[in-house]
Amino acid sequence: MKKLDVIGLRKSFGNVIANDSVNFDVYDGEVHAILGENGAGKTTLMKCIFGLYPPEVGEIYYEGQKFSSHSVKDSIDKGIGMVHQHFMLVYNMTVLENIMLGLKSERAPFLDKKIVTAKMLDLMNKYQINIDLKQEIRNLSVGAQQRVEILKMLYRKSSLLILDEPTAVLTPQEIEELFVFIRQYTGQGNSVVLITHKLDEILEIADRITVMRLGKNVGTFARKDIKDKNELAAKMVGEKIELSILHSKNKQNNPIPAISIKNLVVKDNRGLKAVDNVTFDMFEGEILGVAGVSGNGQTELAEALAGLRRPDSGNIYLAAEDVSKLNPRGIQNKNIRYIPEDRHKYGLILNFSVKDNLLLGRYYAEPYSTNGKLNHTNNDLYAEKKIKEFNVMTPNSKERVEHLSGGNQQKLILARELASQPNVLIATQPTRGLDVAAAKFIQRSILKQRDAGTAVLYVSTELEEIFEMSDRIMVLYKGNIAGIFDISLANIQEIGLLMAGHKMGTND
């Protein structure tokens, strides 16, 4: 029986049509995955179903009942629950208080903590989810926070759960736990809509798959009709793309490290040790992938190498010279380049033109300027060249960067950072939030740079991406190196376990 039925839904923002005559349905007891590139309209569709946006045209039926009004309260009352990509939790309230938030107390005007606690314990027993109800949200891991979000919806008797990119923040083990829950939940006749980019997960858990492209439903397929990942990816981007391994292991075996990190300790903004006594080498012409769940010291390590964060102790040697105390410009002068995680905050000045952004971190040196005077003729040529070389889609070099798409913004950063053929490149999450085509372009460019001899530190929280890109893989857990593996010896399960904090003998 159909649990949810969406017919001919249309939703636009200004002149941008986010959803165009979308038909979509979910059956009882099924896991329905929605696949699509960024901006394909997945989240908009879900927000319409959840009542956050009213659709312009089209009808939504839930268990045979037509939606008359569109409000979140209405949707929740009907039994639809949504777990957003960014959690909607109050961080300094306890789990229990978060569950109760927005619900009418049975003992009004007093709180009904005891009643809710009892009901919650039942619920947690039923689904074997363990969580301390008295704990404040900010003390919980991201995975636990997600479980709170799910519990919140279960407590509201949701029979359809919409999960928006639920696995992006989880370790492989937590993902497995989530999938166990999903199977149990749908086994009782409930349904799950799963939004994700990750093809493997879709193949593992989904019963049906809807592919969206440019706001339209391109097709809904049964899992059994899909052969493999490549077929799925092709459906998503609308053309045949080569998914697996751009990576071709660089055979060059250089015993001289390009950069050596010795006993590095870096503190985070709260003054806690984020990188704790880390020692490793990076070699010329190799990509050292850094695997780890986000928040395990990757950002701090990268920032220390880029000169943005002064290490507490330890050294960074570039050809026998300690560069650990240099400021960003000093690091840039050593030709160490950095692709920051947050491109809007660090990587770009959104109000600057394409050309001016290409000068960031370079403007002060020849040939970009001479004695403090900018060399506009040279810089215009440089900008034109980079735009062409990296295929940046912009009307011209004077266009403000804020008007560019995410992929083109990232290409711009890459073009700038690779312009000097760096000795060392630190790339943190360089493909985050990009569509497949742009991500592949970025990855190919970095591989090309590696082949030209650059030592690359490649930080990503996507294990699949780490395996695609790396020559060696380093796992960070709580600021420590949990292990460094050659790609030929690495195994995804083992690395997943290390990321989650399981100890084992290192086989370096």
Partner 1 sequence: MKFLQFFRTKGVNNVIYPILSILLGMLGAGIIIAFFGVNPFTAYKELVKGSFGSIYGLSATLQRFMPLAFAGLAATLAFRGGIFNIGIEGQLYMGALFSTWVGISFEKLPAIIHIPLALLAGGIAGGIWAFIPGYLKAKKGFNEILVSIFMNFIGVYTLGAALNTFLRAPGQGIPWSSEIVESARLPQLPGSDLSIGIFMIFIFAFTIQYIFKHRTFGYEIKAVGYNKDASIYGGINTTKVIIVTMVLSGFIGSFAGSVEILGMQHRLTENFLVDYGYNAIPVALLGGLNPFGTLVAAFFFAALINGASSMQIALGVPVAIVKVIMALAILGSLGMHGLQKTVESRRKRRDEQL
Pick between residue 191 and residue 357 the one whose CB is nearest to partner 1.
357
* CB 445 to partner 1: min, Å: 20
Single out the residue of 40, 42, 1, 26 nearest to residue 208, CA to CA.
Answer: 26
Name which of 327, 321, 309 is nearest 265 in CA terms.
Answer: 309
If the CB atoms of residues 370 and 507 are measured against partner 1, the closer one turns out to be: 370
Quick one: 427 or 475, whose CB is closer to partner 1?
Answer: 427
Considering the complex, state which of residue 277 and residue 405 has its C-beta at the smaller distance from partner 1.
405
The upper half-sphere exposure of residue 499, i.e. CA atoms within 13 Å in the direction of its Cβ, equals 27
Q: Which is nearer to partner 1, 147 or 343 (CB)?
A: 343
Q: Least distance to partner 1 from the beta carbon of 426, Å? A: 12
Least distance CB 409 / partner 1 (angstroms): 12
Taking the C-alpha atoms of residue 345 and residue 354, their distance in angstroms, rounded to an integer, is: 16
Residues 422, 417, 336, 486, Cα dihedral to 10°: -70
Q: Name the residue nearer to partner 1 (CB basis): 129 or 350.
A: 350
Q: Rounded to the nearest whole angstrom, what is the least distance from the CB of residue 351 to partner 1 in the complex?
A: 5
Distance in Å, CB of 430 to partner 1, minimum = 15
221: amino acid identity, one letter: F
Q: Which is nearer to partner 1, 33 or 306 (CB)?
A: 306
C-beta separation of 49 from 6 below 8 A: yes
CB 477 to partner 1: min, Å: 27
CB of 431 to partner 1, least distance (A): 19
Burial letters for 137-146: b for 16+ Cβ neighbours within 10 Å, e otherwise? Answer: beebebbbbb
State the Cα–Cα distance between residues 416 and 151, nearest whole angstrom. 46
What is the smallest separation between the CB atom of 419 and partner 1, expressed in angstroms? 13
- CB nearer to partner 1: pick between 16 and 504: 16
- To 5 degrees, how large is the angle CA 196–CA 78–CA 37? 15
Shortest distance, position 329 Cβ to partner 1, whole Å: 3
Q: With respect to partner 1, which residue has the nearer C-beta, 123 or 308?
A: 308
Q: What share of the chain is helix, strand, coil (3-state, %, to 5)?
A: 35, 25, 40
DSSP for 293-350 reads -TTSSHHHHHHHHTTSS--SEEEEEETTEE-TT--HHHHHHTTEEEE-S-IIIII--T
Residue the block writes with tokens 């690091």: 331
- How far is it between the farthest Cα atoms of the chain? 75
Cα–Cα distance, 457 to 37 (Å, whole number):
26
Q: In whole angstroms, how close is the CB of 364 to partner 1 at the nearest point?
A: 6
In the complex, the residues that contact partner 1 under the rule CB under 8 A are 14-16, 306, 308, 327-329, 332, 338, 340, 345-352, 356, 359-361, 363-364, 369, 372-374, 376, 403
CA distance 346 to 354: 15
Of the two residues 20 and 25, which places its CB atom closer to partner 1 in the complex?
Answer: 20
Give the neighbor-by-neighbor strand order of the sheet with 208-213: 80-83, 160-164, 191-195, 31-35, 208-213, 216-222
| 134/403 with CB nearer partner 1 | 403
Least CB distance from residue 346 to partner 1, whole Å? 4
Each as own residue / partner, the long-range contacts of residues 203-209 (CB below 8 Å, 24 or more positions apart, any chain) are: 203/228, 203/229, 203/232, 204/179, 205/31, 205/33, 205/179, 206/31, 206/32, 206/33, 207/30, 207/31, 207/32, 208/27, 208/30, 208/31, 208/32, 208/33, 209/32, 209/33, 209/34, 209/35
Give dist(CA 185, CA 501) in Å, integer. 28
Kindly state the smallest distance separating residue 371's Cβ from partner 1, in Å. 9
